[in-house]
Amino acid sequence: MQLTTEQLKDKINEYKKKLDVTVVAHFYQRDEVFEIGDITGDSLELAQKTMVDDSEFVVFCGVGFMGQSVKVLSPHKCVVMPKVACCAMATMIDGAQFNVSVKALNDAGIPNENILPITYINSNAEVKAKVGEMGGMVCTSSNAKKIITTALKEGKKILFVPDRCLGQNIANQMGLKSCVLGDGTNLAESDIICFNGFCSVHQLFSVDDINFYRKKFPGILIAVHPECDPSICDASDFVGSTSQLIRYITELPEDQKVAVGTEFNLVNRLRPKNTYVLSSTKPECPTMNETTLQDVYDILKSIDEGEPLNEIKIDGHTQKWAKIALDRMLAL
Ligand code: 13P
Ligand code: SF4
């Protein structure tokens, strides 16, 4: 028999009381899943808060790379995912494609000792491990500028994977030269060489959307995530990570209109009035939306029955080097 939403919530709460479990939910989750999270936040906050939480089981409601980061930083915990959902951007690069990218730099006359790789946290553990082995580190959209500033002190070329938009936006902010692998630029002339990955959700926003809102509501502010194309970021009033956007928007005066270029579920619950989604197409992250209350219930039931489903497992080598890449970021 199909349980109603209220019945599912009650059963989930019963399991949460009975089991040594913490439910972790990303800001982009559906409202009903987000509401049952014991720990909520952006991808970095979730990994950091879960590290200091002492439950044996973590039920992670988000996408694969985020659950992996939790497992890498807290290897002794059993981390399970109600839905094994993959971030489209993270799937654009694997270890082999990372190696091919390094080779492209080598072919352009840049040897490995002159390359410092940085991977956006939206990448799988295998790529993080490769980056760690080459002396590089992870960054998030909130600390990318700081990480790149530190990395540049080593006087090396930065290979930035997988998000070309974040890499180019940070380069533009810092007055650095950037290019995208395969765009025909002489790689040796760029400070930051970006892999050609992107987020399909954040590609939905256009300069036409910005012009539309500016014309419709003179004085409106435009706030976007740095996974948007550089042309969008340049035409906006504020560019920030998920947590930075939340702070910026919730601190605006009540009558200030703002149009926001990021994931729908987050924008929808941000601020009751004067907040618009910067797109005529609903910018929902399909994989973030896959997780339902039924999935959370099913996974808690599997823990209770002693056979947890969808447990994240990472081999020892990948675990070691991915942790080093993440720890280098956390140390900064
Ligand atoms: P955060 O790191 O801000 O949580 O965002 C991850 C993400 O997938 C953005 O699209
Ligand atoms: Fe990945 Fe984009 Fe979804 Fe974020 S919004 S999880 S980058 S596909």
Task: Decide: helix, strand or coil at residue 5.
Answer: helix
Instruction: Evaluate whether residue 283 is within a structural domain.
Output: no
pLDDT band of 309, cuts 50, 70, 90:
very high
Q: What is the mean pLDDT of the chain?
A: 96
Show which of 277, 299, 327 is a domain's final residue.
277
**Residue 227 CA, closest ligand 1 atom number:** 10
Atom 2, ligand 1: residue with shortest CA distance: 43
Pocket of ligand 1 (CB under 6 A): 42-44, 87, 121-122, 140-141, 199, 227, 241-242
Instruction: Evaluate whether residue 326 is within a structural domain.
Output: no
Show which of 163, 198, 233 is a domain's final residue.
198
Distance 242 CA to ligand 1 centre (A): 6
Instruction: Evaluate whether residue 332 is within a structural domain.
Output: no
Instruction: Evaluate whether residue 322 is within a structural domain.
Output: no
Distance 121 CA to ligand 1 centre (A): 8
Domain count, the chain: 3
Q: What is the pLDDT of residues 259-282, one digit of tens each?
A: 999 999 999 999 999 999 999 899
Return the closest-CA partner of residue 125 out of 75, 170, 179.
Answer: 75
- Give the up-direction half-sphere exposure of residue 162: CA atoms within 13 A in the CB hemisphere: 27
Residue 2 has what pLDDT? 85
Q: 87, 91, 93: which to mutate for ligand 2, most atoms within 8 A of CB?
A: 87
Q: Tell me the average pLDDT across 287-306.
A: 97
Alpha helices in the chain (DSSP H): 5-18, 31-34, 43-51, 64-73, 95-107, 125-133, 144-152, 164-174, 207-216, 230-234, 242-250, 264-270, 293-304, 316-331
Q: Are residues 62 and 153 in the same domain?
A: no
Range of the domain at 302: 5-86+288-313
Q: Are residues 95 and 194 in the same domain?
A: yes
Q: Are residues 164 and 105 in the same domain?
A: yes
Q: Are residues 95 and 193 in the same domain?
A: yes
pTM of this structure: 0.95
C-beta separation of 204 from 281 below 8 A: yes
Q: 201, 229, 267: which to mutate for ligand 2, most atoms within 8 A of CB?
A: 201
Q: Are residues 294 and 268 in the same domain?
A: no
Burial class for 199, CB neighbours closer than 10 Å (0-12, 13-18, 19+): buried
Q: Are residues 98 and 171 in the same domain?
A: yes
Rg (CA), the chain: 20
Q: Are residues 149 and 238 in the same domain?
A: no
- Asked if the model's pLDDT at residue 208 lies above 90, the reply is yes
Q: Tell me the average pLDDT across 180-192.
A: 94
At residue 314's C-alpha, the angle toward residues 225 and 28, to 5°, is 25
Q: Are residues 74 and 48 in the same domain?
A: yes
- Give the up-direction half-sphere exposure of residue 236: CA atoms within 13 A in the CB hemisphere: 26
Q: Tell me the average pLDDT across 39-56.
A: 91
Task: Decide: helix, strand or coil at residue 282.
Answer: coil
Return the closest-CA partner of residue 210 out of 200, 199, 220, 198.
Answer: 220
- Asked if the model's pLDDT at residue 332 lies above 90, the reply is no
Task: Decide: helix, strand or coil at residue 56.
Answer: coil
Q: What is the pLDDT of residues 219-269, one digit of tens each?
A: 999 999 999 999 999 999 999 999 999 999 999 999 999 999 999 999 999
Q: Are residues 114 and 189 in the same domain?
A: yes
Instruction: Evaluate whether residue 323 is within a structural domain.
Output: no
At residue 278's C-alpha, the angle toward residues 144 and 183, to 5°, is 50
Ligand 2 pocket, residue 119 CB under 6 Å = no
- Asked if the model's pLDDT at residue 1 lies above 80, the reply is no
Ligand 2 pocket, residue 85 CB under 6 Å = no
Which CATH number belongs to the domain containing residue 236 in this structure? 3.40.50.10800
Residue 151 has what pLDDT? 84
Instruction: Evaluate whether residue 325 is within a structural domain.
Output: no
